[in-house]
Amino acid sequence: MNQAKLKPRTAASRKQRLQRILDALDLRYPNVTCALHHHDAWQLLVATILSAQCTDERVNMVTPGLFRRYPTIHDLAAAPVEEVASIIRSTGFFNNKAKNIVGAAQTILRDFNGQIPNTLEQLLTVPGAARKTANVVLGTAFSIPSGVVVDTHVARISQRLDLTRNTDPVKIERDLIALLPQSRWIQFSHQIIHFGRELCQARKPRCAHCPIEPDCFSKDKNYL
């Protein structure tokens, strides 16, 4: 069963549809935040680096052991890359991630006096901190809406909801920034990520239980 919806034709109707989507997300996920466990901006940066091509659940299993072994940024800056890699092995791409984590610690101590940078331009100079990582850290740790975090959930669901026609994360982010008020950039990503895990799953979306279904244009709906 696939009940395709007619897409809004006017700017006003598109704006109303977007507002209904945002309202539905607010109702279902009013207080969600980043799913990566952390105690400060440094731990969040490390966890976000580890989350590349890895689930948040797996990262949350690995980081407690990593931070017990290396409690501070100074400890990780002096850590042997091979030892870090062995601790984070289950997150995948562990050699490269270990180099980035140790390099990030050294860079922050050397260039930023041990303080996590709070601008996008500065964060992008830190090893392992591409745009998605920088947006996560700035939004969650500093409440700075520097952009929209585009992970696999946000990319997939934005396409299903026809909020973007692009597949490249940078272009998807550009489309979402143009659509969403800046005050929603941080929360929207958190909400969509939770929504993607609970309902709008990749292989079998739970459309019969979805509060956004009336405004969804996806061609792969599932009501079973």
SS3 at position 209: helix
Token pair for 98: 């270990």
**Angle, CA of 44, 72 and 129, to the nearest 5°:** 35
In 114-137, which positions are buried (b, 16+ CB within 10 angstroms) versus exposed (e)? Answer: eebbeebebbeebbbbbbbbbbbb
Contact 104, 97 (CB under 8 A): no
Q: How many CB atoms lie within 10 A of CB 75?
A: 12
CA distance 108 to 134: 14
- Residue numbers annotated as active site: 132, 151
